[in-house]
Chains A and B, each alone.
Chain A
């Protein structure tokens, strides 16, 4: 399949977005968004992880390989980590990872990271809306993908 053919968007296509959410902040934020009956796109699949630094860069490659269109890693704000320093490592790791993916031809918008605290339900919803919109604009991801 050529790149041009790959770019064609099937009808009724909806993106699949995987969000790695830290148990202590972002997952609580998502919970609060739910309690407040906030609406965010159902394209987002939340995966709870103990800490944002639990997310191995291999998970992201794996997600793209298995057909996810966008990945978000979300954790506590720097300084608020439940494990004191986890998110500082996350920050270093994914600043590098994002550039590395870009170097390999994957749009940096497809892999993002955000800090969302347990009280920021609104920010959680806004992030998800924005991410979903961006991915919709980009179309389905065919890069690094196992199944075409």
Chain B
């Protein structure tokens, strides 16, 4: 790890000194084991960059804060960050030539107590699929054979049981919108929940409204979700939000062929296109 960190600092210094990038987005040292994102503008500041097992946040979303940069942005990417950037490029939120991806193969991250994160346990791409520079050696992909196990369990329930399960889940939701704020697939200029005049989202705090929010958000990112699991990680009440996203991904795969968001920049998301031989159930 520390060797990688050294390499990363070296590379960052080089890029900044040569002027290839204007600044670099990476992880910095916070209190205890927190690794907040930092933005390095000066070559002498590169020692603030940190790379260790506590670097959990997905950095892709921070590119949206600077949509029209005055120079290239260097960004540290693991597998999930890289997929996030690819999604943002596909959504035309970020120009590919505006970013320089510093790939960091990742062996999984841990939380404050040292336990492996759920999102890293379920990770499918530890090596960044898309990058400009890669540091260190590629790590072995472990895959995720249990990816849809929980979804299949839930599918077996009766419809009333399913409804009750999800009502109980969304009953706890406090609608802080942290899941939306952190999600790299959520990049609408104005989110539907903020369009007060249109009134998609009621202001009441009750289960129905929470459900409308949860369902709509999940469906909005149906073919964009990169399965980084950030929504679950940041949820203050610990809702199993990936169970909704995985269901959509599972169905997309079974209906329209295998697809993984953000892995290949040339593959379009399935809901944005069609094929004549799609399954027909509406005759």
Chain A residues at the B interface, C-beta cutoff of 8 Å: 3, 57-58, 61-62, 65, 78-79, 85, 88-89, 91-97, 99-100, 102-107, 112-115, 143-146
Contacts and interface: CB of A to CB of B under 8 A. Distances in A.
Interface residues of B, number: 41
A91 B282 contact: yes
For the complex, would chain A's binding face be called helix, strand, loop or mixed by DSSP majority? helix
Contacts of A106: 159, 163
Contact of A143 (B154, B163, B256, B279): B163
B20 interface: no
Contact of B276 (A58, A78, A99, A102): A78
Q: Chain B CB within 10 Å — which of A88, A91, A103, A106 has the most?
A: A103
A96 B251 contact: yes
A101 B209 CA distance: 16
A62 B271 contact: no
For the complex, would chain B's binding face be called helix, strand, loop or mixed by DSSP majority? helix
A114 B256 CA distance: 20
Contacts of A100: 215, 218-219, 222, 247-248, 251
Given A57-B216, A88-B274, A91-B278, 14 more contacts: A3-B163, A58-B216, A91-B274, A92-B256, A92-B271, A95-B278, A96-B255, A96-B271, A103-B244, A105-B161, A106-B159, A113-B281, A114-B283, A145-B208
Contact of B281 (A65, A89, A95, A97): A95
Q: Chain A CB within 10 Å — which of B162, B208, B244, B282 has the most?
A: B282
B282 A102 contact: no
Interface string B204-230: 000011011001101100100000000
